[in-house]
Amino acid sequence: MGDPLGADGGRQFGRRLLLLVDAKGYGAGSQIRQREFQEAIPRLVNAAAHAAALRYADWEIQAQGDALFAVLPEGTSEPALVDTFTRALEAGLRNYNESRLVEAWLRLRVAIHYGPVSGGDLGFVGPGPVELARVNGCEALRTALAEAPEAHLAVGVTAPIYGDVIRPGYTTLRPVQFRQAEVVEKEYRGAAWIWVPHAAGTPDAGSSSSPSPSPAALPPGNSGAAASSDAANSDAANSGTPAHAGAPMYVSVHNHDFDARGAVIGIKL
């Protein structure tokens, strides 16, 4: 871990991975519920950090009642925070809410950014924390969570995270799972990419919604066998000879979905 950002009286400058976790509807809850949320948020974040092999004890934390603002150490894995951590946090939230009435669920907005930050007398300062806060509090992220009552979590990431980590494929998350939104909050103008895990209509990273590969994208052995088989069947049909009569047998193994409309499939017992 590098030196704490406030070690030199706040003059130290650095670019760090930043995280802001905020509870939805905190102010409308009773004192008992607010106390429960204040206890649960750091515990769930700590557990998710552990699941992602991130040392929560090394994070610089600024607690804000219903929110947790963290500056992560230099060299922290961005894919681990964006992917493994957020998935573990969502799973922890589901478990936490399982025994609670829906109206008493703890639902979180999470913002992730990589940018400049330094320490100050009253907390972190710099354009990084400002951008992080604007994304976390933006109307688009609030609306995304409000419109998915079955979801426990909504994540908003900034351009550096989306462009450098998600879009190039450094996580199991796919760009199609994110929706770009304009962020206009106070003095800030920018964009965020929003993902709501398990929300209706949101593609799941493990789904088979991606198109099947074309023959050119298949392993050479498979595509070649399929092409040879098609040619053999075509020749047999033109000559009036059954395809199996004296024709060589070709075997094509497909480990993916394919369109078999119009095909003749036989089974030898």
pLDDT for 165-217, tens place per residue? Answer: 999 999 999 999 999 999 988 888 899 999 999 887 777 644 433 333 333 33
Parse the chain into domains and list their residue ranges: 14-195, 211-269
Of the two residues 68 and 223, the one the predictor is more confident about is: 68
DSSP state of 163: I
Of 99, 61, 56, 117, nearest to 81 (Cα)? 56
pLDDT at 224: 39
Other Cβ atoms less than 10 A from the Cβ of 213: the count is: 16
CA angle 139, 205, 214 (to 5 degrees): 125
Name the fold adopted by 14-195: Alpha-Beta Plaits (3.30.70)
pTM (predicted TM-score) = 0.72
What is the rounded CA–CA span in Å between residue 257 and residue 164?
A: 31
